[in-house]
Amino acid sequence: MNLFAKLYYPLRKAWKAIGLYLVIAGPGLVVMVADNDAGGITTYAATGAKYGYHLIWFLLLLIPVAYYVQEMTVRLGAITKRGHAEAIFDGFGAFWGWFSLLDLMIVDWLTLVTEFVGMTAALAIFGVPPWITVIAVILLMAVIVLNGRYWTFEKLALLFCALNLVYIPGAFLVHPSVRDVVHQGLIPNLAGGFNGQLFFFLMANIGTTIAPWMLFFQQSAVVDKGMLEKDIPWGRFDTLLGSFITVLVAVFIVIVTGTVLQGIDIDDAAQAAHELMKTDRYVGTFLAIGLFDAGLLGAICISLASSWAFGEIFGWAHSLNTKIRQAPWFYATYFLLLVTAGLVVLIPKAPLVLITLFVQVIAVTLLPAALVFLILLLNDRATMGERRNTLPQNLIGGFIVVSIIILSTLYGFSVLFPNLFR
Amino acid sequence: MSAFSNLLAKIRAINARYHEPRIEMSGAVRLSLLVLRVYLLALVALMIYKFVLIVTQG
């Protein structure tokens, strides 16, 4: 009885804290899990197939990288009540504003095409024709965003985030050696020595961890959700949890392909699912479901990042808390991007491989600019007041931003000139 | 036609609203923006070079 009395209040307090978190949870978790989009799944599957468990330690290093960058958007959104696009226009003037907005639109649209490529390829494994996939996805996304409540959208998105965890049971089904995972994966090592190909894979993994649309999405989502300055600690926790989950999922994908497909060159995640089907039907099915879910989640967030940005700048109503009649341009932008990207996939002989490569190159022109603006805005005393970056935050954030800029630029170069690092 | 002119008017209004950068233009900010411009120009030049290579080499 005494033990029960002692436990009751701490447990009630913890339960209350969990309840409060579930109310606040959302932008950080959704953006981070959506970061494991179709392109991300392909990169992790290829990494596992190429290097086995040897690069798991490197993926773990990406947790703080993703956290530090995205945490800044939480503070900026909660303090300024402005999305990232509007913050850039306001802070740096029309030239940089238009540059960022148009670049974002191009990158987002091209990335959306790659999400549709992933989704159609995933469902093709189950015999679903691409046109049915495209129509079904557009209808599903309409249901998700047209309910007129941000809260409903977010909770539905969190449901799809939970589906992203399908890779975890998938990894257990292939019976990896825990000893090998720990010995090869957790002790930093460079499999086969440092060479151009390894460098390419390291850069690709960084490139999939931080994408330009993530900055725009999370800041706008923080504003649309109505997060206040007092909610920043919860927003930080949400982002940290999201960073942890996104890397955890990546690690489990690497474990799956590292166990079953080691030595096979993987060009896309659908190919990995096909190969896995040959060895274990259930694991292949899990990978295909995960790929579809990743593409869907990525598509939802990427379309929203663009429509929010356009709404902010053109002064249209741009909230998921509005009905279609109240914010017609916001929803029109959302569906225009979605439908046109879906149609590209249905064009016979569309240059989809070229589009996939082009995404990475164009993203390199936006990511450094968006990151530099982020750091500068976070140092603006007039806007951020006491919430501006401290010296340690600037040192850590600055180091991460400079590293991402250098590595993503080199990654862009390697896409333009494939023999550069090989 | 009127939709197009409305759009142009809207863009002009946006340009006027955000004509002046609001952030304090300290030395560090100016230097960061200058480096960013040089970086982006170099990147665009590289992409044009790659495009010319693709066109000329088939």
Report pLDDT digits (tens) over A167-178. Answer: 898 889 888 888
Contact of B52 with chain A, judged by CB distance below 8 Å, is answered with no
A352: pLDDT strictly greater than 80: no
A130: pLDDT strictly greater than 80: yes
Q: Which range, of A289-298, A317-326, A361-370, B23-32, averages the lowest pLDDT?
A: A361-370
Are the beta carbons of A90 and B18 separated by less than 8 Å?
yes
**Apex A403 CA angle, A402 and A407, nearest 5:** 120
Are the beta carbons of A94 and B47 separated by less than 8 Å?
no
**How far is residue A172's CA from residue A185's CA, in Å, rounded to a whole number?**
16
For the ranges A123-132, A147-156, A188-197, the one whose mean pLDDT is highest = A123-132
B1: pLDDT strictly greater than 70: no
What value does the CA radius of gyration of chain B take, rounded to a whole number of Å?
19
Are the beta carbons of B39 and A361 separated by less than 8 Å?
no
Mean pLDDT estimate for chain A: 86
**How far is residue A92's CA from residue A175's CA, in Å, rounded to a whole number?**
53
Distance of CA A386 to the CA centre of its chain: 29
CB-CB neighbors (< 8 A) of A316 in chain B? none
Contact of A376 with chain B, judged by CB distance below 8 Å, is answered with yes
ipTM of the complex: 0.88
Alpha-carbon gap: B22 to the closest alpha carbon of chain A (Å) = 5
- With residues binned 3-state (H G I as helix, E B as strand, rest as coil), the percentages for chain B, rounded to 5, are 80, 0, 20
Nearest CB neighbour to B50, from listed A90, A92, A416: A416
What's the mean pLDDT in A160-188?
Answer: 88
A57: pLDDT strictly greater than 90: yes
Decide which of B2 and A118 is more confident.
Answer: A118
B58: pLDDT strictly greater than 70: no
| Contacts of A366 by beta carbon, 8 Å cutoff, 6+ apart | A100, A103, A104, A107, A212
Share of chain A above pLDDT 90, in %: 31
CB-CB neighbors (< 8 A) of B23 in chain A? 91-92, 376-377, 380, 382-383
- Write the DSSP string, A25-69: -SHHHHHHHHHS-HHHHHHHHHHHHHHTTTTHHHHHHHHHHHHHH
Alpha-carbon gap: B1 to the closest alpha carbon of chain A (Å) = 18
Contact of B44 with chain A, judged by CB distance below 8 Å, is answered with yes
pLDDT band at A286 (very low <50, low <70, confident <90, very high): confident
For the ranges A183-197, A214-228, A272-286, the one whose mean pLDDT is highest = A214-228
Structure token digits, residue A162: 């939970």
What's the mean pLDDT in B14-27?
Answer: 88
**How far is residue A148's CA from residue A182's CA, in Å, rounded to a whole number?**
47
At residue A136, the pLDDT reads: 95
Contact of A380 with chain B, judged by CB distance below 8 Å, is answered with yes
Give the amino acid at A381.
R
Structure token digits, residue A16: 């209350």
Decide which of A417 and A73 is more confident.
Answer: A73
User: Up-side HSE of residue B42: CA atoms within 13 Å toward CB?
Assistant: 10
- Over the range A304-319, which residues count as b (16 or more CB within 10 Å of their CB) and which as e? bbbbbbbbbbbebebb
Alpha-carbon gap: A369 to the closest alpha carbon of chain B (Å) = 7
A7: pLDDT strictly greater than 90: no
A422: pLDDT strictly greater than 70: no
At residue A236, the pLDDT reads: 92
Structure token digits, residue B46: 């590289």
pLDDT band at A421 (very low <50, low <70, confident <90, very high): low
